[in-house]
Amino acid sequence: MTDTTMNDEAVGSDRGTQLRNQVVEGLMAEGTIVSAVVEAAMRKVPRELFVPGVSLDEVYHRYNGVVTKRDEDGNSLSSVSAPQVQAHMLEQAEITVGMRVLEIGSGGYNAALLAELVGPAGQVTTVDIDEDIADRASRLLAEAGYSQVNVVLADADGGVPEYAPYDRILVTAGAWDIPPAWVRQLAEGGRLLVPLQVRGLSRTIAFEHAEGCLVSRSSRLFGFVPMRGAGVHQDRLLVLRGGEVTVRVDDEFPVDSGVLEGVLDTPRVEVWSGATIGRFEPWATAHLWLATALPGFCRVVVDRTLDTGVISPPGRQSATSAVVAGGSFAYVTTRRTAEEMTLEWGVHAFGPEASKLAEQVAEHLRVWGRDHCGGGGPQFRIYPAGTPDDQLSQGRVIDKKHSRVTISWPQAATATAGQDVLQHTTE
């Protein structure tokens, strides 16, 4: 029996309902689903209708998305996100009956959930740049009984002005910037949820209008398929040691890349910070703290098929945070401590100023451990590009094409931003 047959026979069946309810109950038990309305929507909409040809076990994996389109190189272009991711975003959005909602990035299933949340008095619009994806979403929504959803084929960089303003805008693709159209089309008192890439790190942030800018109300780290069209952004890459090591920079490279040739062949310097973290505690705030504190912040990725051990990321990871300064390079790692469930942050560095650079990074890890570990994470503010410095809030300033982003860090004792938990999805 093919997966398609299995899926088709199971639609609306006891097994499909059973698995759907198990996913919802698991998400409630872990605290991802906290509201009765999100619970009801996720219990009602058959997820399998939007991924025909996929086995029910795969459809209803709590933490895995289902890829629905790939490019010629096998990279994901579209997916139905993991149930945990969708539930989290719906809770973060706090959607109520009668709202007008714009979803950027179509798949069909999430739009159906949104339609349940807004009810007959509300309106859901979903937009995608890919004609295949938009046509597929339109067809599957109609077949599932949600033909009232507006499916629009367009580059979402301009939003969808014909149905604006929106009480909620949910972006389900990784965005490097926030286009002005999204801000203009957000209703007064509205909320924008966007997986925003900042210095190579992505987190889903809920923004609201306040004090002449967009202010974050909560955030959580997820990875999403990147935006296409006018909003596309490419990292800068520096490939070292024949492809074994790749340095990824979100903006302009901080030094002439040629000065790093051979840097990994120099003696390695190790500095251990004394700052610790539990092995199962979320690490995301530490990496984002370094991204905001260090001018030459980047990410380093190891190709495991070529790995000689010159770079040792924490645990079994293949990537970690790093920094480039002059002709020197340093990255963050961990080691076990005498306490079985605790790890210590450390730094490995290479190059002529390796000792100095390693100590600088280690000191920032100590500051994180003292002032921010266990806190709610940073607050983000979005200002229009061109806003003068004296009109920006305090914090690290990240300049993008359309916006200026400020990131500030309350200390752990007073932090109020949303909890930062590391998760992944392919949408």
Q: Do 311 and 302 form a contact (C-beta atoms < 8 A)?
A: yes
Contact 360, 384 (CB under 8 A): no
**Region for residue 157 given its phi and psi (left: phi exceeds 0; alpha: psi -120 to 50; beta: otherwise):** alpha
Nearest to 195 by CA among 98, 291, 81: 81
The SS3 call for residue 126 is strand
Please tell me whether the peptide bond between 410 and the residue prior to it is cis, using omega within 30 degrees of 0. Answer: no
Query: Could you tell me whether strands 319-325 and 150-153 are parallel, antiparallel, or unpaired per DSSP bridges?
Result: unpaired
From start to end of 71-200, where are the E strands?
A: 76-80, 100-104, 123-128, 150-153, 166-171, 186-198
Q: How do beta strands 150-153 and 123-128 pair?
A: parallel
**257 classed as catalytic:** no
- What whole-number distance in Å separates Cα of residue 124 and Cα of residue 151? 9
Does residue 163 contact residue 125 with C-beta atoms inside 8 Å?
A: yes
Q: Tell me how far apart the alpha carbons of residues 51 and 55 are, in angstroms, rounded to a whole number.
A: 9
**Coil, strand or helix: which one is 176?**
coil
* Catalytic entry in 78, 81, 138, 202: 81
- Residue 120 CA to residue 113 CA, distance in Å, equals 13
State the residue for tokens 């070529």. 306
For 53, residues 6+ apart whose C-beta sits below 8 A from its C-beta are 2, 3, 4, 7
Classified as helix, coil or strand, 171 is strand
Q: Which residues contact 262 (CB under 8 A, 6 or more apart)?
A: none
Measured CA to CA, the distance from residue 250 to residue 405 in angstroms comes to 14
Written as one string, the DSSP assignment of 48-66 is GGGSTTS-HHHHT-TT--E
Contact at 8 Å (CB) between 383 and 403? yes
**Cα 115 from Cα 95, distance rounded (Å):** 10
Q: Which two tokens stand for residue 32?
A: 């991802």
Q: Which residue reads 């509300």 in tokens?
A: 122
* Active-site amino acid positions: 81
